[in-house]
Amino acid sequence: MTRTVIAQGTFDILHPGHVHYLEEAAAMGDELYVIVARKANVDHKEAPICPATQRRDVVGALQAVDEAILGHEADIFVPIEEIDPDVIALGHDQHHDAEAIETELERRGIDCAVERASGREPTGEDEILSTRHIIDRILERRG
C-alpha cells in the first residue's frame, strides 16, 4: 500500500530550507504531493512575488516531489480531500496550528496524521533559508 504525503506552502523564492522541508516530507511516505498556495490564500505574510503557476512548476521540478498542484482558492482542504493522504507534513516554522488542522480533518472524515518537519541551520554564513531574508538582501544590495 502506498503511503501518501502532502506538504504545502507558498514557495515564493525557492531556497535550501524549502528543499529540506520537501525532502523530509517525501521521506515520511512513498508519494509526495505539494500544494502550492494561491496568492488569495496567503494572508499571514506579504503576498507572493512570483505567479502561482511558476511557483508550482519550480516546486514540481524538485526530485523529492511526485506532483505539485495549486491550492483551492476558496477552501484549502479541497485538495486534501481529493488526495486523501496518510500524512500532512508541516514545515518546522509554518504558522499552521496542527491541532486545528487535525480537528478539521476529523470533521471532514479524513483520516491522516499531521507531522511537523524539522528545521535546518544554514551551512555557511552566506546561506539564506528565508524568502523574506532573500528579498531583504536583494533590496539592500540592489534597491
16 is in an annotated binding site: yes
List strand residue ranges (DSSP E) for 1-143, in order.
4-9, 31-36, 67-70, 87-90, 113-116
Q: CA–CA separation, 94 vs 133, rounded Å? A: 16
For residue 125, pLDDT beyond 90: no
Question: In the numeric block, which cell numbers belong to residue 56?
Answer: 508550482
Question: In the numeric block, which cell numbers belong to residue 139?
Answer: 533590496
Is the CB of residue 129 less than 8 Å from the CB of residue 122?
Answer: yes
Q: Which residue has the cell 508550482?
A: 56
pLDDT in tens, 63-102: 999 999 999 999 999 999 999 999 999 999 888 889 999 9
Query: Shortest CA distance to 6 belongs to which of 34, 27, 30, 28?
Result: 34
93 is in an annotated binding site: yes
Domain count, the chain: 1
137: domain CATH number is: 3.40.50.620
Domain encompassing residue 48 = 4-142
18 is in an annotated binding site: yes
pLDDT in tens, 134-143: 999 999 999 8
103 is in an annotated binding site: no
Is the CB of residue 68 less than 8 Å from the CB of residue 60?
Answer: yes
Q: What mean pLDDT comes out for the span 2-11? A: 96
15 is in an annotated binding site: yes
pLDDT in tens, 26-47: 999 999 999 999 987 887 778 8
